[in-house]
């Protein structure tokens, strides 16, 4: 009888523990889901912004009839791609063809893990921070290569090869720039990098201490995103649509998503590494003194942090969208020359200078 009761109690407590664990698991999933939702909304906004900005650059109107001001255009495109027929090439490698886009999407989504959107509002404040981003973002070209190879199409294959060559050669100057930044702030964690820029407001930004690094980072992040001066992998006039040629329906939608996610990630990283992250950044005036508000309101502070980060990121996005509709496309040899013969030595020199200055100041 007693044993029975004890057993029942242990079982009860065990099930309670299990329940607690499940609840805890759900709670820990919640921020991830929130971040995913936020990212999706931001991508929709970016797609709309790109179409409207490109329209106003070309003196057009842009999406008008899908929802108010064409705001629902991206949703309409996504739904249509979801309902469309999904064609698998009859001679292609079907498994690689399906895995390719998902690898690209997952690798980009994972790098949102280390981006701080507000004051300590980050999913995982890892001590290797930015290097995680660099490591993960180099998985994406494998997905693109898979997509290009498995389509059984010469344009796809050429596009896949170009994408791989481009992202491998521009990753190196990007990494050197990040190294120089991490030397300045003595840490690889993204939160510490933002904290290190918080001292003198606007003048404490890393962009003033690393102007060459900022330019190199800007160029190579454009190349990593395959945006227009460097959009050789999907050059419409030579390769029909590059590695996306054989993709239809939602798999093409995934590639479309990847390009905008990549853009969002790189502009957020520019904000974090060079533009002072979530700080209000007007020198000698704290944001809360400015509006005479109580600093104890934690939620308000967090919202303001997110708002400031996103504003800076969208400013950078505006620049890259304008660049897309201004500059012509480069040739393949010009692209590789720029990457290997210009950006790589310059970023190396920048790293050397930064290191020696740090040594002298120590």
Nearest to 235 by CA among 259, 321, 227, 108: 227
One of 1, 27, 85, 292 touching other proteins (CB under 8 A): 85
Rounded to a whole number, what is the distance in angstroms from the first to the last CA of the chain? 73
Residues 40, 209: Cα–Cα separation, whole Å = 34
Is 92 an interacting residue with respect to other proteins (CB under 8 A)? no
CB nearer to other proteins: pick between 78 and 229 = 78
Can you read off the two tokens belonging to residue 74? Answer: 């991206």
Where do the DSSP E strands lie in the chain? none
One of 8, 87, 282, 285 touching other proteins (CB under 8 A): 87
One of 38, 62, 201, 204 touching other proteins (CB under 8 A): 62
One of 70, 100, 173, 276 touching other proteins (CB under 8 A): 70
Is 55 an interacting residue with respect to other proteins (CB under 8 A)? yes
One of 84, 154, 295, 341 touching other proteins (CB under 8 A): 84
Q: Beta partners for 121?
A: 118
Q: Give, as one character, the DSSP assignment of residue 229.
A: G
CB nearer to other proteins: pick between 61 and 299 = 61
> Angle 4-9-13 (CA atoms, 0-180°, nearest 5)?
150
Nearest to 178 by CA among 213, 146, 128, 209: 213
Is 38 an interacting residue with respect to other proteins (CB under 8 A)? no
Of the candidate spans 21-29, 59-67, 105-113, 195-203, the one that interacts with other proteins by CB under 8 A turns out to be: 59-67
Is 243 an interacting residue with respect to other proteins (CB under 8 A)? no
Total count of residues recorded for the chain:
362
Q: Tell me the per-residue interface mask from 246 to 265 with other proteins, x by CB under 8 A, - otherwise.
A: xxxx--x-------------
CB nearer to other proteins: pick between 35 and 75 = 75
Cβ atoms < 10 Å from Cβ of 171: 18
Question: Shortest approach of other proteins to residue 232 CB, angstroms?
Answer: 15
Is there a contact between 216 and 349 (Cβ–Cβ < 8 Å)? no
Is 51 an interacting residue with respect to other proteins (CB under 8 A)? yes
Q: Helix axis angle, 73-83 relative to 249-274, nearest 10°? A: 140
Helix or strand or coil: residue 44? helix
CB nearer to other proteins: pick between 63 and 129 = 63
Is 60 an interacting residue with respect to other proteins (CB under 8 A)? yes
Q: Give the number of residues in contact with other proteins, rule: CB under 8 A.
A: 37
Which residues are near other proteins by CB under 8 A? 51, 55, 58-66, 70, 72-73, 75-80, 83-87, 90-91, 236, 240-241, 244-249, 252
């Amino acid at each position: 009888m007693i044993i029975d009761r004890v057993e029942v109690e242990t079982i009860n407590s065990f099930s309670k523990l299990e329940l607690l664990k499940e609840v805890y698991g759900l709670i820990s999933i919640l921020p991830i889901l929130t971040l995913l939702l936020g990212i999706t909304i931001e991508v929709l906004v970016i797609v709309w912004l790109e179409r409207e900005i490109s329209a106003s650059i070309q003196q057009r109107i842009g999406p008008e009839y899908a929802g108010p001001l064409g705001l629902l255009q991206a949703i309409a495109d996504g739904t249509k791609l979801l309902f469309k027929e999904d064609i698998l090439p009859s001679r292609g490698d079907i498994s690689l063809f399906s895995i390719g886009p998902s690898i690209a999407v997952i690798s980009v989504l994972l790098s949102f893990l280390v981006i701080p959107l507000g004051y300590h509002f980050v999913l995982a404040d890892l001590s290797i921070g930015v290097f995680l981003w660099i490591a993960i973002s180099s998985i994406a070209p494998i997905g693109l290569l898979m997509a290009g190879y498995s389509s059984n199409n010469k344009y796809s294959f050429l596009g896949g090869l170009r994408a791989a060559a481009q992202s491998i050669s521009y990753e190196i100057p990007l990494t050197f720039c990040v190294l120089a930044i991490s030397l300045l702030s003595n840490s690889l964690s993204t939160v510490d990098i933002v904290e290190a820029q918080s001292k003198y407001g606007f003048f404490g930004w890393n962009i003033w201490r690393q102007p060459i690094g900022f330019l190199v980072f800007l160029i190579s992040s454009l190349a990593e995103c395959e945006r227009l001066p460097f959009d050789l992998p999907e050059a419409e006039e030579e390769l029909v649509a590059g590695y996306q040629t054989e993709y239809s329906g939602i798999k093409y939608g995934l590639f479309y998503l990847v390009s905008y996610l990549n853009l969002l990630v790189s502009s957020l990283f520019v904000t974090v590494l060079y533009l002072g992250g979530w700080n209000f950044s007007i020198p000698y005036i704290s944001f809360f003194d400015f509006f005479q508000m109580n600093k104890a309101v934690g939620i308000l502070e967090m919202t303001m942090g997110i708002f400031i980060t996103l504003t800076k990121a969208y400013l950078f996005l505006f620049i890259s969208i304008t660049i897309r509709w201004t500059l012509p496309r480069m040739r393949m040899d010009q692209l590789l020359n720029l990457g290997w013969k210009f950006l790589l030595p310059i970023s190396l020199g920048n790293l050397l200078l930064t290191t020696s200055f740090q040594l002298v100041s120590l």
